[in-house]
Chain A
Amino acid sequence: MSAPAPVFGPSREPSPVVGPPFWLLLELTYRCPLHCVFCYNPTDFANVGPELPTAEWLRVLREARALGAVQLGLSGGEPLAREDLEEIVAEAHALGFYINLITSGVGLSEARIAALRSAGLDHIQLSFQDSTRELNDFLSSTRTFELKAQVAALIRKHGFPMVLNVVLHRLNIDHVGEILEMAERLGAQYVELANTQYYGWAWHNRELLLPSRAQLERAEATTQRFRQRVGAAMQVYFVVPDYHETRPKACMNGLGSVFLGIAPDGLALPCHAARMLPGLDLPNVSGQSLRAIWYDSPAFNRFRGDAWMKEPCRSCPEKVRDFGGCRCQAYLLTGDPDAADPVCDLSPDHHLVTQAVARAEQGGAVARQLTFRDHRISIPVVVEAG
């Protein structure tokens, strides 16, 4: 009897036939009480139109489920800012989704967690910014550290699997050992140590967030020692920062392959950051069916297959594995969304990545200050070499 293969993961070969959007992510709102410097939300989210009403979110759920979507992420912003979250969860549960709430924990009272439990929520992923109150509160520009610890206790008390997420960068990556010990104290079953990906606010703050190679190697060694000590009691995922790699990530398993995101204003996204890609006429769920958007819209077909690729990707045997890497990163770094992801050392633009890393090795830019995510600030996307 052969072992079943995971559906998500880099080993999956692209199918010539367009499959269902297995993973549906609803970014219910851009409102968030936190101001994290590494947030991937667009830096001009203050200009995005009004949020979809409840009935539209429920229609999106029904149509996505009919297409075969099964994993549901509820995110944002802070999804708890939506007062109809329980109603959305209840409908999703009735439809048969496995429902993941991705939250800062702010607003998760005991009454609310109980209501979400009885509505059918399956799991809560709680974010921490650091193992120390000082840095957690500084990075998010809030006083939320104690509150998050209380929320972690509530998550356990109400029988949810405990999943902690910590975004890593130069300012906290040296605390990985303490972060893992904190996760152990809080009773986490899964921990995601997700190195910052440079989109949105994180792109704007990149020079101050990129870790050095020495920091990264220490953090990986610490994580490995921790894994050996705790064994199967906790699963620790260490998402490597691709700037330090020589091959790109298989972003989204290829755009239009398994992931469908819906932004607060109803824009349908083939990846979290796709709103910034030029010339991609993103469809809005208002007034059209999800089936038409997923299968027929130019935006979702734009990066399917490999006809869009340029050299060196087009003739590269590895294109079936990494799909040319991340389109948003290619655009941000080179100004061309069809270029090879410059993380790849076969890319003619790879020096843009190595130069950024070299600056990080020297301690990074000192002339700039961190910019905190804020609806009062609106920053246009600045492309590095465009």
Chain B
Amino acid sequence: MTAIPGTARPAIAHGKRLQWEPAQEAHVLLYPEGMVKLNGSAGAIMSRCDGARTVAEIVADLERTYNVSGLGADVEAFVALAVEKQWLELRP
């Protein structure tokens, strides 16, 4: 798994779509003929991946929103996993 620089700007990968599904009370990622139901933290991260915000900005936003600190390593690990699974792509 490649390391994710804090300056990278993750976005939902081309052809995929993230949306909130009330029936599942969860964010889901939709792609050709498939769907991944995201757990709460994955949904919180991916819904902030708009291609504009950097990973560092997303971490700061999450820490502020949930009033916690030290999320950096977890968020970077998730973003790396999601890039590997082609859920997210990194914008420079």
Contacts and interface: CB of A to CB of B under 8 A. Distances in A.
B60 to A, nearest CB: 18
Contact of A122 (B17, B24, B86): B17
Nearest to B71: A1
A78 B10 CA distance: 38
B28 A8 contact: no
Given A71-B30, A98-B30, A100-B32, A4 B37 contact: yes
A190 interface: yes
A5 B37 CA distance: 7
A100 B15 CA distance: 11
Query: For this complex, into which size category does the number of interface residues on chain A fall?
Result: 20 to 34
A160 B16 CA distance: 10
Tell me whether chain A's interface is mostly helix, strand or loop, or mixed.
Answer: loop
A283 interface: no
Interface in A238-267: none
A81 B9 CA distance: 42
A206 B32 CA distance: 29
Contacts of A67: 23
B21 A1 contact: no
Nearest to B23: A68
Given A1-B78, A5-B37, A68-B24, A161 B32 contact: yes
Query: For this complex, into which size category does the number of interface residues on chain B fall?
Result: 20 to 34
B18 to A, nearest CB: 11
A22 interface: yes
B49 to A, nearest CB: 14
A70 B30 contact: yes
A6 B30 contact: no
A8 B34 contact: yes
A244 B81 CA distance: 35
Contacts of A6: 34-37
Contact of A1 (B23, B36, B77): B77
A106 to B, nearest CB: 20
Contacts of B41: 1
A71 B23 contact: no
A1 B74 contact: yes
A20 B36 contact: no
B81 to A, nearest CB: 6
Contacts of B28: 7, 70
Contacts of A100: 32-33
A96 interface: yes
Contact of A2 (B21, B36, B39, B86): B39
A2 B38 CA distance: 10
What are the 7 A-B residue pairs with the smallest beta carbon separation, nearest first? A68-B23, A161-B15, A98-B30, A123-B32, A4-B38, A7-B37, A163-B32
10 contacts: A1-B41, A1-B77, A3-B81, A68-B21, A68-B22, A70-B35, A100-B32, A122-B30, A125-B33, A232-B86
Interface of B: 14-15, 17, 19, 21-24, 28, 30-39, 41-42, 74, 77-78, 81, 86
